[in-house]
Amino acid sequence: MRLDVPGEPPTMRRGSHTRLFFGLTLLWVGTGCSTTPLAKPPPGVPSGVYGVNIEEETGPEDPKFLNRVEGLTHFLTSRSFEFRGKPDGSIKHLEAAAKADPSQETVVVQAARRFLQRKKTDKAIEILRLAQATNPESETTHEWLGLAYQQASQPDEAIAAFGIALAKSNPTLISVRGLSKLHAAANRFDDAFKVLDTALTKDKREPEFWLGIADLYRDTGIAARAKMDRIKAGIITSLNKASALKPESPLVLNRLADYYKVWGESEKAIALFIQLIELNPSLIGVREQLADLYLRADKTENATRQLEAILRERPTNERALFVLGGIKRQLDKLDEAAAHFETVLKINPKFELAYYELAGVRLFQNKPDITLATLKKAGEQFKPRFITKFYAGLAHSYLHQYPKAIENLLDAEELAQAGEQNRLTHFFYFQLGAAYERNRQYETANDTFNKAIEMSPDYHNAMNYLGYMWADINRNLDEAAKHITKANELSPDNASYVDSLGWLYFRQGKYTEALAELQRAAELMKDEPDSTIHEHIGDTHQQLGQAHEARAQWEKSLGLLREQEKKMTTPDAYLLEQLGNVLNKLGQADKANAAWQRSYDITPNQPLHKKLHPAKKEE
């Protein structure tokens, strides 16, 4: 059985048209009672459609009945035109349907939307105002009226309409977004925030609503250049309201987790990402996010588990391999780190950062030749960067190629000054100063070390190195004393610093004080004896007339130097020079000359030339 409509064309009463009519009639009737599906049928005579009865006293001449019938007729005709691909005819009858029965909110909104899409704001406003008059309590009508006024460039009217909707119990994002953005556009940011604060008082049960409010707090705060605390408070409150609703949609969970992550709520983000992985363990991107959060929280084991899970799912995931390589490097598992970075480069030879990470690992492994080879491959594909020149400088220093080290470090400085000035730290200038010192450019080294100390006034490593440099070459002892004393104050039990203090006393002729400090340094290093400290102790015993004790210390120094020589992977000019010095003190002149010659062949310099050719001393 169907509900006949007076005046319906005969063609609409047969076959598929009958089914179409039935469906659209149900849609039409439903628009008036969409908020209470399957509600108890009202009293009256059954109409043949569930939930719709015709009141007994309503006759065919009743205006409401006639308006509803007319509206239904136009609505059905509008859909018919739409199905036949005639949008102009469709919107004409849709407008007529909305005007005939403006109580049908869904039809009114549909018509208004069509007119707004066509930029016919006057027509949209006309039918929305009719609907507003019919049902002044409708949030939806006021919200769409606000949109229409907004599109018509009537901000005051739009604000009024949005405001009415927001004041009601169940506004949507349409009114909140429209009203807050209108205030923000007029630089009334306090009013915009008040709109959002009002929205927070609503009892909305849709997580998407609260995510939208979080977006608005973010956008309004950025536009207002508000303090981060104010923006964050609104965002976190919104997110917490969404989370409290226990959403199950993966999209909502992912957005919530991303938001919490951005705003520093790591534990909440982690919990949501874990929930997502439980729903779908193959979500690679989510595991990457989770690994990142674990790394930020120094939970490397948890991060490693996530990255390894990614690699089980996708063994060629270069990002996971790269990050895992970084973790292994931090854990000092350098062979594993290098293997991961090399795998990344096999998968993707254009992964630039992997070259630099691999070069750094090889440098830490004391493999400067491999470091330079890796940097060369990078240099063939990418433009020079600070990091490539810096690592190259360090690698050449490892190889005792100090002129090349200085050249590369100066190139690194120039590149950093052009765009990465934050790279020029006290540590950088310490490395540059050490290269100058090793190249015996003492005045330049002095200036460079002082620059490092100026940048970091408590950088005792540079203080000690600079002070020891002057003490070792027996120059500027007052300057040496200043730096060595301060280094020992900042790090009292550092064996290297205590040795420097003892050697300073030696240079000042304070042999008793020197011996006490040097012996204290040796005690601090008793588990890992140092050849230089024992050589210094031997020199001090000699000055105190204690020849037997001096020889014993030099023999101990020589033994330590021989052990270092066996482990030497690249020729070390300084080690060989020291070896020659100790051999000479022990009276082994031929062996001393052989060691000095090997050192001179690596880094020719005037002091070594004098040792090798004493007859040619300058007057």
Q: Where are the domains of the chain?
A: 247-315, 320-424, 576-616
Taken in order 267, 273, 276, 277, is the CA torsion positive or negative? negative
Helix pair 386-398, 402-419: axis angle to 10 deg: 160
3-class SS of residue 47: strand
In the block, tokens 């300057």 appear at 479
Report the percent of the chain where pLDDT is more than 70. 89
Q: How large is the average pLDDT for residues 422-432?
A: 97
Q: Name which of 28-32, 68-72, 103-107, 195-199 the model is least confident about.
A: 28-32
Q: Who has greater pLDDT, 2 or 454?
A: 454
- Same fold yes or no, 247-315 and 320-424: yes
Which amino acid is located at 91 in the chain?
Answer: I
Instruction: Report the distance separating Cα 342 and Cα 104, nearest Å.
Output: 67
3-class SS of residue 39: coil
How many helices and strands in the chain, by DSSP H and E?
Answer: 32, 2
Q: Which two tokens stand for residue 386?
A: 């600070």
Digit-coded pLDDT (tens) for 235-287: 999 999 999 999 999 999 999 999 999 999 999 999 999 999 999 998 999 99
Instruction: Report the distance separating Cα 232 and Cα 215, nearest Å.
Output: 11
Under the banding of pLDDT at 50, 70 and 90, the label for residue 43 is low
Residue 559's pLDDT is 96
Which amino acid is located at 168 in the chain?
Answer: K
Digit-coded pLDDT (tens) for 494-513: 999 999 999 999 999 999 99
Helix pair 228-244, 207-224: axis angle to 10 deg: 180
Residue 59's pLDDT is 52
DSSP string, 121-160: HHHHHHHHHHHHHH-TT-HHHHHHHHHHHHHTT-HHHHHH
Digit-coded pLDDT (tens) for 435-459: 999 999 999 999 999 999 999 999 9
Q: How large is the average pLDDT for residues 98-112?
A: 92
Q: Does domain 320-424 have CATH number 3.90.120.10?
A: no
Is the pLDDT score of 3 beyond 90? Answer: no
Residue 230's pLDDT is 86
Under the banding of pLDDT at 50, 70 and 90, the label for residue 231 is very high
Residue 538's pLDDT is 97
Report the percent of the chain where pLDDT is more than 90. 79
Instruction: Report the distance separating Cα 562 and Cα 472, nearest Å.
Output: 22
Instruction: Report the distance separating Cα 566 and Cα 270, nearest Å.
Output: 51
Q: How many residues does the chain have?
A: 619
Instruction: Report the distance separating Cα 137 and Cα 160, nearest Å.
Output: 14
For residue 494, CA distances in Å to 488, 524, 556 come to 7, 8, 21
Q: How large is the average pLDDT for residues 186-192?
A: 94
Strands (E), 32-106: 45-49, 52-54
Q: Which residues contact 416 (CB under 8 A, 6 or more apart)?
A: 386, 422, 423, 424, 428
The answer to whether the pTM exceeds 0.85 is: no
- Per CATH, the number for 247-315 is 1.25.40.10
Q: How large is the average pLDDT for residues 151-155?
A: 95
Is the pLDDT score of 212 beyond 50? Answer: yes
Closest CA to 573 of 601, 594, 612, 592: 601
Closest CA to 612 of 576, 441, 594: 594
Digit-coded pLDDT (tens) for 309-323: 999 999 999 999 999
3-class SS of residue 281: coil
Digit-coded pLDDT (tens) for 513-566: 999 999 999 999 999 999 999 999 999 999 999 999 999 999 999 999 999 999
Q: Which two tokens stand for residue 362?
A: 């090889």
Is the pLDDT score of 8 beyond 90? Answer: no
